[in-house]
Amino acid sequence: MTGVVLLNTLRRNWRQAIYWGISIGILGYYVIVLVPNMDTLKQYEDLVAKMPPLMLKAFGLSDAAQMATPAGFLGFGFFSYMLLVLATYAVLAGLSITSSEEDRGILDVLLSLPIPRWRIIIERLIAYTLILIVMLVITFAGLWIGAATTPGLNLDLGRLLAATVNMLPATLLVLAFTALAGAVARTRTLAIGVATVFVVASYFIDFLGAAASGTFFDSLRVISFYSWYNGGQIMFTGLEAGRVLLLLAVALICALGSLWFFQRRDIV
C-alpha cells in the first residue's frame, strides 16, 4: 500500500518532532524576549565592537551597529546557530532512512515486504520533510508568541517567518546528503562520519571564508551550504529565491543519488 512507510515513519517519530520543535521554539521565545532589553543589546554591541573586523565578518555581521538592532540580534543569536541544531536532527533522520535500520537488521524485514526500495527512501524523505516543517512551525510559534507578548518590540513578522522558512532548504540538504551517505556507505559509522564532516566542514569553511575574504577559504565558500543559507543576514535580506532554489536543487540531487545507489546495492 502506497504511503505505508510514510505513515509508519510519522507514527514512530512524531513525538520526537514535537519535543525538538518545542525545545527550539522555547529557545526562540527567550531570544525574542531578550531583544528589547537594551542593556543586553548594549552589552552585545560593546562586545561585538571589540571584535576585529574579520571576526565580525565571520559571524555574518557587517558592522557592530547591526548587532544592536532586534533583527541583527536574532540573526546572530538565533538563526545563525539554529541551523546547526536542525542539521544535527537532519543527520539523525537521514541515518534513519536506510543506514541505521540496515545496521540493526530491520531493513531485512522491511525489504521482505512488497515495498520497492525506492519507495522506502522517497516516503521516508517526505515523512522527515513533514516532520521538519512541523518543527519549524512550532519554532515560529515560539518566536511569534515571544514577539506578540513583548511590548515595544519593533520586529517585522514577515521577515521572522521568512527567516524561519529559510532554515528548511539547508536542513533538507543535510537530510538528503545524509541519506545519500547512508545509501553509498554500507556501514552506519561511515555514514555518520561523512555526514558529520559535511556539516562541520561546511560551517568552518563558511566561517573562515567570511573572515578572510579574497583567500583560498573564501573561494571555498561556494561549496559550503552554510554560506548559501546566510542565516546571519536573513532578517535584513529576507528570503532569496536563488539561494533557496540552489539548496533545494542540491538536496534533490542528493535524494536522487541515494535512490540510485540504494536501488543497486546489496543490503549487508
Partner 1 sequence: MENVIHTDKLTKIYSGTTRALDGLSLDVQRGEIFGYLGPNGAGKTTTIRLLLDLIRPTEGRAALLGLDAQRDSVAIKQRVGYLPGELSLWDNQTAQQIIHFVGQARGGYDKTYVQTLADRLQFDLTKKMRAYSTGNKRKLGLIIALMNKPDLLILDEPSSGLDPLMQQTFYQLMQETRAAGHTVFLSSHILSEVQAICDRVGILRGGKLQAVERVDALTRTDFRHVILRFRQTVPESLVATVPGVSGVTSENNGKTLKLQLLGDFDPLLRSLDGFYVEDMEVQEPSLEEVFLKYYGAQSAVNNHQKAEATQ
Binding site for partner 1 (CB under 8 A): 1, 4-5, 7-8, 11-12, 104-106, 108-109, 111-116, 264, 266-268
Question: Nearer Cβ to partner 1, position 8 or 237?
Answer: 8
Q: How far is the CB of 258 from partner 1 (least distance, A)?
A: 18
Least CB distance to partner 1 at residue 3 (A): 9
Contact 178, 195 (CB under 8 A): yes
Residue 153 beta carbon to partner 1: minimum distance, rounded to whole angstroms: 41
Q: Quick one: 63 or 108, whose CB is closer to partner 1?
A: 108
Kindly state the smallest distance separating residue 86's Cβ from partner 1, in Å: 22
Identity of the residue, 50 or 264, whose beta carbon is nearer to partner 1 in the bound complex: 264
CA distance 247 to 29: 27
Residues making up the chain, counted from first to last: 268
Rounded to the nearest 10 degrees, how much is the dihedral formed by the CA atoms of 193, 195, 199, 204? 40
Amino acid making up residue 259 = L
CA dist 54 → 11, 74, 159, 232 (Å): 47, 20, 27, 15
In the complex, what is the shortest distance from the CB of residue 186 to partner 1, in angstroms, rounded to a whole number? Answer: 11
Q: Between residues 109 and 241, which has the closer beta carbon with respect to partner 1?
A: 109
Cβ proximity to partner 1: between 112 and 242 the closer is 112
Helix (H, G, I), strand (E, B), or coil: what is residue 150? coil
- Cell 551517505, located at residue: 181
Q: How far is the CB of 10 from partner 1 (least distance, A)?
A: 12
Beta carbon nearer to partner 1, 31 or 131: 131
Using the CB atoms, write b or e for 171-194: b if 16+ within 10 Å.
bbbbbbbbbbbbbbbeebeebbeb
Identify the residue whose cell numbers are 513583548.
150
By CB neighbour count within 10 A (0-12 exposed, 13-18 middle, 19+ buried), where does 196 fall? middle
